Structures are given as structure tokens and as C-alpha cells.
Chain A
């Protein structure tokens, strides 16, 4: 057995074990931590199949942001809450059967692989030069399928508005409460030391995304996580929903995207087309705007809506 084969086997076996443990473990907190660890291992799998961009996203979103969100949900759910009820046995069996059926289908496809699949990778590489960026994934996200990327940011914005719609009427416009009454000392220390480093990494990952694995989504997730840490440690409170600066931060990315996209009608012959030679600076301008907006959206998503009793 070669070293890589050994490593792969170990990775896969650990992940299957962890997955089973996550399902059977009784303690929800332990299951969430298991889920975050699972996300980290999954990112290693992406690296192994040479998809570092997906791997980075998996670490940031699957391992980090989703885990924090689950922990916050667990903290907010009280034992007597009707929404907190354990699902019935038939329901759990149903979910298991469905998940099993999907796994079986996918397994069948691995065992009986379809005809050799065509790929768009050569085509994407062929047009790379005209986009001005070096990372073909960034070219897909910001040029070939920029429209999808734009709409995805609108999805995140609408998801945030959906979360905010759960605010009690009297608390509309208030600041979400994030920090607990007494902040544990290690958390405070972490927030003071890790955050400056995290901000640098977040911006760096966005910057190199043009030519290397990385990009604004991953960078923004890291920034949002750092912001969350600051809020949880009580160093800064979350901005009020009605804050003008917050609102501008939320819309600046999509607004720049629209402005550059629409000017493409006139200057480049098509919506979301870039004029020759200006592609890279325009893409960087959009990415900078999106970094701010997505970080603000994700941070506020993690902070959640203001609760009953909060006052604007």
C-alpha cells in the first residue's frame, strides 16, 4: 500500500466513523463539534481530488460558519420549546431510508460509471486570457457565469432579510445580542489575538483568488467569523438593524456588481461583459465590494435577529 493510498483509506474510514458517531451521539453539543470536525476532514478530501477552491470553501462554510450557526441555535433553543422537540421514530426512519436511497443511487453510479464525461475545463482555460485572471474558477465565477455569482449574493441578502423577518415587532431596528453576560477569559484572549491575523488572512485569500485558489466567498466567511468572535467576546456590539452604515455595507457589493454589469451593455456589448483590458480591475472592484457585503451578510446571519425585549 502506497503512502497516499494509506492516507486516503485512513481519511475515509475516519470520516465514516465520525459520521456514524454524529448520528448516534446523544449530546447535541458533541454532535455539532463532530460536524465541524467532519467539515475539516471533508476539506482534506477536496484537496486530495485537487479541488483546493472547494476545500477552502468547505473549511470556511462547512467547518466554520455552519458550526457556529448550529451552536448559536442550540444556545437559543430552550428545552420547553415546541420547536425543540426530538423527531419521532417513524420520521427518523423515513429520513434514514431517503438518505440511504440517495447514497445507493450514487454508489451505483460509482460502481457502474457512465460514459467518459466531457468537461468544459479546456474551454474555460482557452478563454482565460481575455478575462485577465489566472484562476479558471474565478473566471467561471466572475466572467463566464458572473450572473450566477451576482444572483447568489442576492440569495444570501434575502436569506438575511428572511432571518431578520423573525424579529419581534417591537425590537425592529435594535442591535442583535451576541455576547453573553460574562465572557470566558480564553474567548477574550482568542478574540484579541486571532482577529487581526484572521482579517489579514481573509483579505489575502480574496486578493490571491484572482490567480490562485481562494476568492471573496471564502475570504468573506473568514472575516465574518472574526467579526463574530469580536461580538461574542463583547469587544464590539453588533450593529443595529436600522444602522445606515450596515445597510450600505450590505448593498454595496450587489450595487457595484449591477453598475459594472449594466455599463457592460454600453461599453462591452453585453450585460456583465468587461471592456478589453479592463476585465481584471473591474473584477477586483466587484470582488472588493462583495467582500464587504458578504462579510456583513454572513456576520449578521450569525448574529441572528434581535429578540423579544430588545429595544431600538
Chain B
């Protein structure tokens, strides 16, 4: 039997398509400017680039909601399978806007950090930090917009080489060890992903996701390829038991970097897994694998939360909480099942999962930034030494607490809405065991959040020693992110129409057999 060559990509560049190119290109131009203009303008260039990036993200959102269909760009005018397409649907736009907000907030937080001085000779840490921050924003945009599996490989390589050096920005041997371990996991993941890409190309002669959906068959080659790619991406996403690199790496990075790594970077590789499973694999082929992914997710929730409770240092506690919160994302796979009438992306579990992703991003960024401020104020982040700390820097601890509220799933918060939708989905799908895990995870999260908050807000026996002042601007950035995590809890508790734009029948290309001659 011969496999037919996939038909050409069934859509043209849309009027706003050039915005997709700019979303990727602008941060790269920023990097080139930083390395040629000299240190006097580093922060100015980086912050301006982030502001332009945010404007582009909003413009893409406006374009998408205005037309009600996917935004598409055929790079170089070449149509896949020969060329590359960039494609923004509702889901990718949500993630691009989320990335722009979080990275923008981190940029405002980090202004003036790392000993940056425009009048002094160029310094290592600020130059590297701003370069990598711009690099991550461009790389994540590419992940969310790429429609070609090899293009996405380049994107995850960009993420690896921007995320890993952030971990050891302080240059200590201990963080370098954490960075090296992260690098090894990430590279192993890349190799497995690339192997899967090669297999898929050899089987179907195209790497475009939309085209693959129409030619992919339930056969060993597809299973092996998707399995390799999924395991590789799981290593980068740090799903239990491949999480062992994450706590030391995320806790060792400077607070501004930790916020980006925990809030966004692990979600990039998760997004590709989501696309592999829902946009390429035929729906009838995902049953057992989906249960396995969610099983690992459940273990991550329980294990990560329990270990988080046992941590002595604040940043490690927050990092283990990331291990747990990533677990929830994988409950999407068995719960967001589609049917003839409602496709997967129109299910409540799909909206719940994306809401979990976004609310965790805001909450976790707020909490890591708060932890950085705790370090600024007291010179350490030992939880046992933080009794009464909340009375010294109340705004910081309110930000931490509001973020924690979302992680626990208390209403009103994004975390509450996400977990509520997932609970309903697991009851509705008759998979009550996931509901038990979700409830358990919420209780455990309350355990580790209150372990920090209760002593911090209490009247201390001895006055806590303050090392230095904290910047009000930075406190407000952390607070704003935490409030975002709460605000997105006010979305209606039903499938979000925005997430359906550009997907399914109206996109004309994600329907199995939709391209059959």
C-alpha cells in the first residue's frame, strides 16, 4: 500500500498573517540590537521590544476575534507540504497573549536588577538576562504559532538554549549543576522528538500538522513516532517521574527567571504534546495512552504536593508546587474527549485545562517574584525564619497568598474555575477517580501555602531581621500577576468560544478525512 502525498495546505495567507511573523521576528531583532548597541541601551531595547511584542500579541487577538477564523501565514509564499505555515487559532492566541503579559511583567520587575548600570561598561548578568528573556518570548511565540513539526523542533531548541543559561545566571557551582542536569534532560528530549519527526516524515512525507491530520493512520509507525516525541517532550515539561531536574533548576534561578521558567517554559513543550495528541493522533487511538498520561499527572499532583509541604526553603516549595500543578494539565487527555456532536476543544475539560495553564502561569509567576522579594528583604528564604515576615512586606505576602489561593482552587480564582470544570468533566465522563485526585491535590496545596502564610502573618515572638528595603514597583508587579490569576476565574464556567476559533469544521482542515479527495 502506498501512502498518498498529502494535498497542499488548504488555506492562504490571511490579511493579518504578517503579524505572526513579526511576533517571532521582533524579539530576535531586539537580541541583535542588544549585542551591537552596547550596554548603555540594553534595558531600553529589551523593554521596548517587549512592549512592541505585547502590542503585536493584542493585534493578533483583535484580528482573530474580528474575523472569527484562524490567522495564517505561508512563509516565503511556499505552501506546505513544501513550505512552512504559521497558524494562530483561539488557543494559540490565548497563549501568546498570556506569554506577552507574564514576560512583560517580569521585564518591569527585573528593570534595574543584576547590577545593571547604563553608564558602566557592559556586565555579564544583565546582558545575558535580557537577551535570554527576549529569546524565550520569541521561542514561545514560535511554539504557539508553528504548524510544522520540524519548525517546532527549532522552537524547542531555542527554548532550551534560552532557558538553561537562565538557571545558572548567578554563576555558582550549585546552580551550574542544576543547569547541566536540565540541559541533559532537555537535549535528550530534543533527540527523541527529532527521531519522531524523522519517522513521521518518512511515513507521510509531510510535517505540517494540519496536513498530517488528514493522512495519519492508526499504525505502528505513528504510535512509535508519537510515543518518542511525547516522552521527549515530557522530559522538557517535567511530568513525574521526569521532573527530577525541575526543582533545583527553578529554585536556583534568579526570581525573575524562575517566574518565566515555571510559568511559561514548561507549558511550551506541553502545548506541543497537546497538538500531537489532539491534532494529529486519530481520536480512536488515544484511549489507553490518555489514561497513562493522566495517571502520571495524578502521581505528579500527589507526589509534588507532599514533597512541597516538606521543603525548608520557600523557592524549593514553589518549585515542587510546579511539579504538582503540571500534573493537572495532563488530566485533559482522558477528560477532553470529543464526540460527534462536540469536538474535544468544545468540552469543559479543554477549557478547564487551558484555564489551569493560564491561572498557574499568573499565580506561579507572582509567587516566584514574591519569593525573590522575600530574599531581598531578609537575605534568605528559609521558611522557618519567616515568622512575622508578612508584617514587614505585606504586599509581597498578599501576592503570595492570592497566588496560593488559585493553586488551592479557592473561589474566586482561575484555579478554582479550572478545577471546578475538570471535576465536572470527570464526573460527567464517569471517571470519578480523577475527581478524587483533584480534591486531594487542592487540600495538599492548602497545606503548603498555609505552611508559609500562617507564620508569616502571625505576630512573631522575636522581631524578624530585615536586610534591605524592597522595591514597591516590584511588589506591585507580583501583586498584579496574582490579581490576574484571580480575575480569570470570572470567565463563564462553560466551554470558552474563543478557544474554538480556527479549530474543527469551520477551519476546514482539522477534520479527519476533511481533505480526502
The interface of chain A, by Cβ under 8 A from chain B, is 82-83, 102, 105-106, 108-109, 112, 114-120, 123-124, 127, 143-148, 151-152, 154-155, 157-159, 161-162, 164-169, 172-173, 242, 247-248, 250-251, 254-255, 258, 261-262, 264-265, 268-273, 312
Contact = CB atoms under 8 A, between A and B. Distances in A.
Contact of A258 (B25, B84, B123, B199): B25
Contacts of B76: 143-144, 146-147, 264, 270-273
Contact of A118 (B28, B158, B205): B205
B441 interface: no
A154 B168 CA distance: 21
Contacts of B73: 271
B450 interface: no
B128 interface: yes
Contacts of A172: 122-124
6 contacts: A117-B205, A148-B151, A155-B157, A162-B165, A165-B169, A242-B122
Contact of B154 (A155, A166, A270, A312): A155
B474 to A, nearest CB: 23
A158 B158 contact: yes
B74 A270 contact: yes
A124 B177 contact: no
9 closest residue pairs by CB, A with B: A118-B205, A270-B77, A162-B165, A172-B124, A272-B76, A165-B165, A118-B5, A158-B161, A114-B221
Interface string B150-174: 1100110110011011001101010
A151 B13 CA distance: 21
A158 to B, nearest CB: 4
Contacts of A165: 124, 128, 132, 165, 168-169
B4 interface: yes
B184 to A, nearest CB: 10
A154 B158 CA distance: 8
B499 interface: no
Contacts of B84: 144-145, 147-148
A265 B18 contact: yes
Nearest to A146: B76
Contacts of A112: 220
A261 B84 CA distance: 14
Interface string B327-355: 00000000000000000000000000000
A172 B24 CA distance: 29
Interface string B133-163: 0010000001000000011001101100110
Nearest to B162: A158
A168 B74 CA distance: 44
B39 to A, nearest CB: 9
Interface stretch (B29-37, B94-102, B356-364, B482-490): B29-37
Contacts of A269: 77
A144 to B, nearest CB: 5
A134 B5 CA distance: 24
Interface in B63-104: 73-78, 81-84
B21 interface: yes
A127 B78 CA distance: 10
B489 to A, nearest CB: 36
B131 A169 contact: no
Contacts of A157: 31
Contacts of A158: 31, 131-132, 135, 158, 161-162
Contact of B171 (A105, A146, A169, A258): A169
Contact of A166 (B4, B78, B176, B202): B176
